[in-house]
Structure 1
Amino acid sequence: MTSREDEIHLLFDPPGPRARSRIRIATAVSLLVLAGLLALAVSQFAAHGQFDRSQWWMFGQWPVLRFLLTGLGYTMLATAVAAALAFPLGALIALGRLSSSKPIRAAARTYVELFRAVPLLLLLYIFLFGLPSIGLTFPVFWQLVIPIVLGNAAVVAEIFRAGVLNLPRGQTEAAHSLGMTHAQAMRHVVVPQVLRALAPALVSQLVRLLKDSTLGYTVSYLELLHQAKVLGEYYHAVLSTYLVAAAAFIAVNAALSRTASWLEARLS
């Protein structure tokens, strides 16, 4: 089995001395530009009093932290429930696209193409305004989670289908030679191996689910971004509150990314 570096070298020639020199120069220039932009942002924050104690003192109070942590908890709950529903649904849709039945393949493909094309915000508005107009109403939690599930299941289906197609055909043929049907081969041979190979990618997909949950403000779901908005307006410290919320999102995403890297190293 080739390493990741060997696979990259099969697709691209390794850079020569001049190319490596240009890469180093471009990297240095990019870092200088980023440092300059960061210094400019910090100076502007300081000039507008964003570092004053009046903008930050409330974060040392437990009721305020509890208010934000409650929002973070609701964010994680929506993300976990959406993942628990979107991943199995995506796997079933992928199997439908790989089915020997033409109508099932057509239905699965239609689902994937439709929900990959429709923006998530539009789905949220459909559940918020469209469906209630015809008498279909959902609790606030499901007004957020169901659109996230519908959109992400289409993405997971394509990830899962690519994993199945990337599996050597000899695995399926060996299962058929043992007398297994197509469904049995998929269930006992193909799916377990695909899940093992795609575990890092599925963990990374959680990052997208987490970011999608921030649209909960459109349905007044009390997730972290909504709580930060309320808190910032109450204390007249919108920017500092959003920065704290951003730091929380970065910390959670970093933990998910590290989990994905650990799984990739563990399973490689």
Structure 2
Amino acid sequence: MSSVLYDAQGPRAKRRNIVFTAVFVVALGALLWWVFGTLKDKGQLEWALWEPFFSGTEAWSTYIWPGLENTLKAAALAVVIALPLGAVLGIARLSDHVWVRVPASVVVEFFRSIPVLVLMIFGLALFAEYTNVSSDDRPLYAVVTGLVLYNASVLAEIVRAGILALPKGQSEAAMAIGLRKGQVMRAILLPQAVTTMLPAIVSQLVVILKDTALGGAVLTFPELLASANTMSGYYGANVIASFTVVAVIYIALNFALTTFASWLERRLRRAKKSTGAVLKADDAGMPGTSATGTGGTV
């Protein structure tokens, strides 16, 4: 049976795919076995190196949890600021007014072109030179500043692309019934675009969470990855064990975030299915109705 996307495989293609799959599985198994044997020969699988994470809470309470708390704090602050800022910049780039569209485009293109690490370093120097922020808080402020400036610019492009991806008939029909541009954006375009933009937005939130590690590597920000580096030195150079635990934590956090986003996307799609109800003019807030107070004049 053929599909719109591809032709059905014949017997030879099926046999070839089975052979390729078997070869890949064998190669992957051999690679994993080699990695396991190498780690064992180097003594990295000794129980003494892994014991701090499974017996007692010292490693968790002293290193992992404080680092994770700083990571989540920086990521949460960056998300809370970058999401609305990115939405404003993305909508501003669609404005019909040149004095709004051009500055927003310049800001987005400028900060989107600079590596986030450079923005963090610049933020650290800025807070040290021109503010009274204490030296203990500067790394956090610098990390959040860099994440906000870069990711707000990327999110602005996601918002702009999500709105432009909608059929033009959506806005034209709304204009035809008398809605103003602000009402069209708020009531028609944005609610539909959110569902389309959600996967890309979640991917960018994952990037924000992971990029907090740059602050630990360069700005001495005590986030999760930097704590793992300190922890591995304290427990007898158990680098593999420490960074494996940290990697599992990052995977769990990002998996939880993407799972929640998938659930939210399904819920939004179900909520937007038509119920067959007909809206009145007052409910839509059309000009010339009691909702706008224009007294029937357009």
Same fold (TM over 0.5): yes
Residue 242 of structure 1 corresponds to which residue in structure 2? 243
RMSD: 2.3
Q: Is 1:193 aligned to residue 192 of structure 2?
A: yes
How many equivalent pairs are there?
258
Q: Secondary structure at the match of 2:96?
A: coil
Rounded Cα–Cα distance in structure 1 between residues aligned with 2:13 and 2:177: 53
Q: Residues 160 and 26 from structure 1, CA distance in 2 versus in 1: closer, same or farther, beyond 3 angstroms?
A: farther
Q: Which has the higher contact order (CA 8 A, sep 6+)?
A: 1
Which of the residues 93, 98, 101 maps onto 2:97? 101
Amino acid across the alignment from 2:44: Q
Q: Is this contact kept in 2: 1:75–1:223, CA < 8 A? A: yes
> Using the alignment, how far apart are the partners of 2:92 and 2:154 within structure 1?
14
Question: Which SS does the other structure have where 2:178 is aligned?
Answer: coil
Question: Which one of the candidate residues 13, 16, 37 is aligned to 2:6?
Answer: 13
> Among residues 60, 71, 79, which one is paired with 1:75 in the alignment?
71
Q: Residues 19-54 of structure 1: CA distance to partner in whole angstroms, max 9, x if unpaired?
A: 555554444433333322221111111001111122
After TM superposition, list the pairs within 5 Å mapping 1:1-268 onto structure 2.
Answer: 12-14=5-7, 16-17=9-10, 22-59=16-53, 60-66=55-61, 67-129=63-125, 131=126, 134-136=129-131, 139-217=138-216, 218-235=218-235, 236-268=237-269
Any conservation in 2 of the 1:204–1:260 contact (CA below 8 Å)?
A: no
* Residue of structure 2 equivalent to 1:4: none
In structure 2, relative to structure 1, the CA distance for the partners of 1:216 and 1:134 (3 Å cut) is closer
Aligned residues of 2:140 and 2:221 also touching (Cα < 8 A):
yes
CA distance 1:257–1:27, shift in 2 (3 Å): farther
| Structure 1: distance between partners of 2:244 and 2:179 | 56
8 Å Cα contact 1:115/1:154 also seen in 2? yes
Query: Matched residues in 2 for 1:103 and 1:26: separation?
Result: 58
Q: State the distance in 2 between where 1:152 and 1:128 align.
A: 18
Task: Answer yes or no: is the 8 Å Cα contact 1:200–1:260 preserved in 2.
Answer: yes
Distance, in Å, in 2 between the alignment partners of 1:107 and 1:64 is: 49
C-alpha distance in 1 between matches for 2:18 and 2:181: 52
- Whose helix proportion is higher, 1 or 2? 1
Task: Give the TM-score, by structure 1 length.
Answer: 0.86
SS in 2 for 1:109: helix
Identical amino acids, percent of aligned pairs: 38
> 1:134: Cα distance to partner?
4.9
CA distance in 2, matches of 1:112, 1:237: 43
When residues 115 and 46 of structure 1 are mapped into structure 2, their CA distance, relative to the original with a 3 A threshold, is: same
Instruction: Deviation per CA, 1:230-256: give whole Å up to 9, x if none.
Output: 111111212211111011101111112
User: Which range moved further: 109-118 or 88-97?
Assistant: 109-118
Query: SS of the residue aligned with 1:56?
Result: helix
Separation in 1 of the partners of 2:37 and 2:141?
A: 43
User: Contact 1:164/1:191 (CA < 8 Å) preserved in 2?
Assistant: yes
Amino acid at match of 1:13: Y
Distance 1:193 1:221, change over 3 A: same
Distance of 1:265 and 1:26 partners within structure 2: 35
Q: Distance in 1 between matches of 2:97 and 2:7?
A: 45
Displacement of 1:137: 6.6
CA distance in 2, matches of 1:115, 1:23: 45
Scaled by the length of structure 2, what TM-score is found? 0.78
The CA deviation string for residues 93-112 of structure 1, in whole angstroms up to 9 with x for no partner, is: 11111110123222222222
Larger radius of gyration: 2
Q: Which runs of 5+ in 2 are unaligned?
A: 270-298
- Aligned AA for 1:82? A
Structure-1 separation of matches of 2:86 and 2:177:
28
